[in-house]
Amino acid sequence: MFSKSAFLVLVLSVLCLPYTRSLVRFVRVLGFFREKNNTIVQDPSHLIFINDTIQCEDIHFEEKSGRLFLACEDSYEGRFEWFPPLANFHDPSLAAKSTGSIHVVDPESKQSQRLKFVNFRGPFNTHGIDVIPDHDSAEAAVYIFAVNHPPDLADCPDAVNLKGCKANAASRVEIFHHVIGSDAATHLRSVQHPLISTPNDILAQSPHSFYVTNDHYYKEGALRFLEMLYWGAKWSTTVFVELDSLTSTNPTADVKARVAASGIHNQNGLGRGRPGEILIGCAGSGVLKVGKASSDPAIQIVSSIKVDSTIDNPSYFLDPYANSTFDASGYILAGLSRAADLPKTTTDPNGTDGSMVWYIPSRQGDAESSTMSPRLLFEDDGERIRFATAAVMIVIDPKLEHGQRWAWLFVTGAFAKSVLAVKINLENVA
């Protein structure tokens, strides 16, 4: 009798027989035969680990304030017992007590500040985030949107001893307000809707509206496993959510939602690209979808970029010192060197998931982004940065580098013990 995994491998093999080229790419993207490598950093001062940044799955650079915002965990072990994005529901008791946190990092000092929550007691099981400025505030301030995966304890018979309870996730989006320079994040409301089922990442359009990806249709089980591996399972969605109120205490009140993008495999991370662009990272298939929002507000996909690994949360680096002879602007994609190992490592605190960060030149005025060639920007075997899920690049003033073009690359990982900052010579990669 076949085991579940053997049966699924057999089914996948039959499905993939007519698609040899696709099968070759499948093997390459998941890294079945790839060796994990390390980018050598010659100068020790060019690689910095940022304090108090445990398992920060997502990172965003808020340009107006000049600060980095991250959603992190407060303990290293908990995510290996509860992480719905990887269908891990082993211990809801840990998730029910989770005190994840939001951090602000100064990209110059590389120091992290943990924000204190106001009007919010959790639980907070962190995932994707987004940050937008509050244009109506007299003080410099931002709205922070964060995915939260607390356990659904409705069917647990014992509210005290939850470890044996079979609980799924009651995923939602939390909205906070933060005054730049303060140490607090004030919780405004939670958001739940039937169309927000397996939320992964967020792209805020205004304080009252945002896009959110559902990375899978199925939350767990054999069909979710099939959905992850079979690229023809285009069941994920990006949903557009509108709120009538930012003060409702009922997570489902005053919430309207509709599907903005469908028919795409494993929609995962969201990001902003060039003006008007919405970036969707298709994690399992290693494809960046470049889209544009229409008025309805469906997302129209205009081009695709393939890389040779899985990817997660995309970002875009806009070179502020670009000129007619040198422009380092481009897309930044973080992913895994050997995603094929995930079934063995997702519950192992001592595992090592190798990381890759890609750079795709995409200058202002270029025609089709699909013609740009991806370049490997940074690589690690999982010891320095485990399970890379997001990366952003912040330029250094050339005057401080004797006219040379350098930048700091900040890399986060869902299983990483800290955020990594590495200094990159742009002239070697752009």
- Ligand-binding annotation for 215, yes or no, is no
- Ligand-binding annotation for 129, yes or no, is yes
Residue 157 CB partners (closer than 8 Å, separation 6+) = 165
The tokens for 317 are 């680096």
The total of other beta-carbon atoms located within 10 Å of residue 185's CB is 25
Q: Which residues are the active-site residues?
A: 127
Annotate 54-82 with b (16+ C-beta within 10 A) or e (fewer): bbbbbbbbbeebebbbbbbbeeeebbbbb
d(C-alpha 221, C-alpha 227), whole Å: 10
Are the C-beta atoms of residues 236 and 279 closer than 8 Å to each other? no
Give the CA radius of gyration of the chain: 21
d(C-alpha 9, C-alpha 2), whole Å: 10
The tokens for 41 are 């950093």
d(C-alpha 183, C-alpha 150), whole Å: 24
Residue 400 CB partners (closer than 8 Å, separation 6+) = none
- Ligand-binding annotation for 58, yes or no, is yes
- Ligand-binding annotation for 341, yes or no, is no
* DSSP state at residue 372: P
d(C-alpha 269, C-alpha 378), whole Å: 19
* DSSP state at residue 101: E
The tokens for 62 are 């808020």
The tokens for 83 are 């992480």
The dihedral over CA atoms of 37, 306, 274, 324, expressed in degrees to the nearest 10, equals 70
Q: Is 187 helix (H, G, I), strand (E, B) or coil?
A: strand
Are the C-beta atoms of residues 192 and 243 closer than 8 Å to each other? no
Which helix H or strand E contains 213, and what residues bound it?
strand 209-214
The total of other beta-carbon atoms located within 10 Å of residue 256's CB is 12
Which residues contribute to the annotated binding site? 58, 129, 200-201, 268, 312-313
In the annotated binding site for Ca(2+), the residues are 58, 129, 200-201, 268, 312-313
